[in-house]
């Protein structure tokens, strides 16, 4: 097997900025493709990252009404006005531009790193990319900041850069974020007439954080249909607000539970929707276990996408009630089993469900998976918890996830 070259070192961030782990992957992609597409939720830091890596690049924000009108009425003139490299920000607002970018790339296919496109809606953006940019663009995803990037990321604050810069204004920032998100993104994607009901839906969904998704259970108290709930969940997923973690299936392809679990990607947003305003409130809250489990889920996903890997995270429950929080596949075809416990006191019985599942997996001819109980920390003097299981803090878990590349 040919060894993969190490990614180039990440450029130094500007003063006051946090170095993003995705930067080296983005630089590698820019050397291999004419275009790079960077997706992720609004305010996760996509524009900041690109402008720090390409400070001299031309920049156009495709949300300005005059610019959108110009592109739609005279795309040729707009393309001729660009100086490459160029950053086209929020490109999903003008999908008509994709064929024109493709034509420019095809005119000089050997020139790399010319177009950097960002978007906050995965579905609409990927639709344009798949139709016009196949083989011409690398696709990367940026999520809010991770604990591996800055120790300021916590369950109560989450990882949005602006919140971490001004944590005292956390509540005001999230309230403004939600208002802007609902008024702009939701209304532009779907003709949601009753925005107040959608806001109630967000608050209700936060109480299902880290739980099995039951669409009927969400629809009934809101007085809307199950298909409407499915549409709304689709919006939240494609705009990077939630992640749906699907059940793991065995080698026979037989899923034991069909429904996914729902997680808010940013724990700070989840806490805001739950009315949790401080760390002390969180410790007293009945949702502390769910928030910690969601925090772990998001950190695993961030570690994967920051390494340029597709997000792969599953959960397990069989008909007899055996349940494991997370099954994390590795590129080598193996799996890790993870239990998240919001405690600093780790007991061997926490690992019992994982060990039962590991025994079943081994009995089907597979390799014994690594079993990890992740706790709130601090790191213990020894990781050994019981035969076949380890206890790790979140940093230790992410270290293991990184080793599995």
Domain 161-306, CATH among 3.10.105.10, 3.40.30.10, 1.10.10.10, 3.40.50.1820: 1.10.10.10
> Rounded distance, CA 158 to CA 295, Å?
8
Mean pLDDT of 360-378: 84
CB 58 within 8 A of CB 185: no
pLDDT the model gives residue 126 = 63
Strands of the sheet with 86-89, listed across from one edge: 58-61, 86-89, 115-119, 35-39, 137-141
CA distances from 283 to 70, 199, 211, 394 (A): 52, 26, 19, 18
Q: Which residues pair with 38 in a beta bridge?
A: 118, 140
Q: Long-range contacts of range 192-196, CB-CB < 8 Å, 24 or more positions apart?
A: 192/232
pLDDT the model gives residue 60 = 96
pLDDT the model gives residue 348 = 94
Q: Which CATH superfamily is domain 318-403 in?
A: type ii restriction endonuclease, domain 2 (3.40.1560.10)
Judged by average pLDDT, the poorest of 39-48, 142-151, 166-175, 254-263 is 254-263
Reported as a pLDDT band with limits 50, 70 and 90, residue 6 is very low
Q: What is the largest CA-CA distance in the chain?
A: 68
pLDDT of 104-128, one tens digit each?
999 999 999 999 999 987 655 566 6
3 state DSSP class of 307:
coil
- Is residue 95's pLDDT more than 70? yes
What fold, for 23-141? Rossmann fold (3.40.50)
Angle, in degrees to the nearest 10, between helices 195-206 and 215-222: 130
Smallest CA-to-CA distance from 57 within 147, 133, 118, 146 is with 118
3 state DSSP class of 279:
helix
Mean pLDDT of 243-265: 81
Smallest CA-to-CA distance from 232 within 173, 270, 267, 191 is with 191
> The pTM is what?
0.92
Smallest CA-to-CA distance from 394 within 269, 267, 278 is with 267
Q: Give the residue extent of every domain in the chain.
A: 23-141, 161-306, 318-403
Who wins on pLDDT, 51 or 404? 51
Radius of gyration, alpha carbons of the chain: 22
């Amino acid at each position: 097997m040919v060894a993969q070259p190490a990614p180039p070192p990440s450029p130094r961030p500007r003063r006051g900025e946090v170095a993003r782990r995705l930067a080296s992957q983005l630089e590698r992609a820019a050397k291999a493709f004419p275009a790079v597409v960077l997706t992720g939720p609004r305010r996760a830091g996509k524009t900041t990252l690109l402008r720090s890596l390409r400070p001299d690049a031309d920049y156009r924000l495709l949300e300005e009404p005059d610019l959108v009108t110009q592109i739609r009425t005279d795309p040729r003139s707009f393309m001729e006005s660009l100086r490459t490299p160029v950053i086209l920000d929020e490109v999903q607002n003008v999908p008509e531009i994709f064929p024109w970018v493709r034509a420019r790339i095809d005119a000089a296919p050997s020139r790399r790193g010319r177009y950097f496109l960002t978007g906050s809606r995965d579905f609409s953006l990927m639709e344009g990319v798949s139709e016009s940019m196949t083989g011409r663009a690398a696709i990367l995803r940026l999520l809010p900041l991770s604990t591996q990037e800055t120790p300021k990321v916590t369950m109560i604050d989450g990882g949005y850069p602006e919140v971490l810069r001004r944590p005292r204004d956390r509540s005001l920032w999230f309230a403004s974020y939600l208002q802007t998100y609902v008024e702009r993104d939701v209304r532009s994607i779907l003709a949601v007439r009753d925005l107040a009901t959608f806001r109630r839906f967000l608050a209700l969904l936060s109480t299902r954080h880290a739980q099995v998704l039951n669409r009927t259970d969400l629809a009934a108290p809101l007085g809307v249909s199950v298909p409407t709930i499915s549409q709304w969940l689709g919006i939240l997923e494609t705009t990077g607000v939630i992640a749906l973690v699907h059940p793991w299936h065995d080698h026979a392809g037989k899923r034991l539970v069909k429904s996914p679990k729902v997680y808010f990607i940013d724990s700070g947003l989840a806490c805001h929707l739950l009315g949790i305003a401080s760390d002390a409130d969180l410790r007293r809250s009945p949702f502390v276990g769910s928030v910690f489990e969601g925090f772990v889920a998001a950190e695993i996903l961030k570690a994967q996408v920051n390494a340029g890997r597709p997000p792969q995270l599953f959960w397990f429950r069989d008909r007899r009630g055996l349940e494991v929080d997370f099954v994390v596949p590795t590129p080598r075809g193996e799996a890790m089993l993870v239990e998240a416990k919001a405690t600093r006191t780790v007991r061997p019985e926490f690992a019992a469900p994982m060990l039962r599942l590991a025994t079943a997996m081994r009995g089907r001819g597979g390799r014994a998976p690594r079993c990890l109980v992740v706790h709130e920390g601090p790191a213990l003097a020894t990781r050994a918890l019981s035969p076949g299981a380890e206890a790790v803090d979140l940093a230790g878990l992410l270290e293991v996830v990184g080793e599995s590349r």
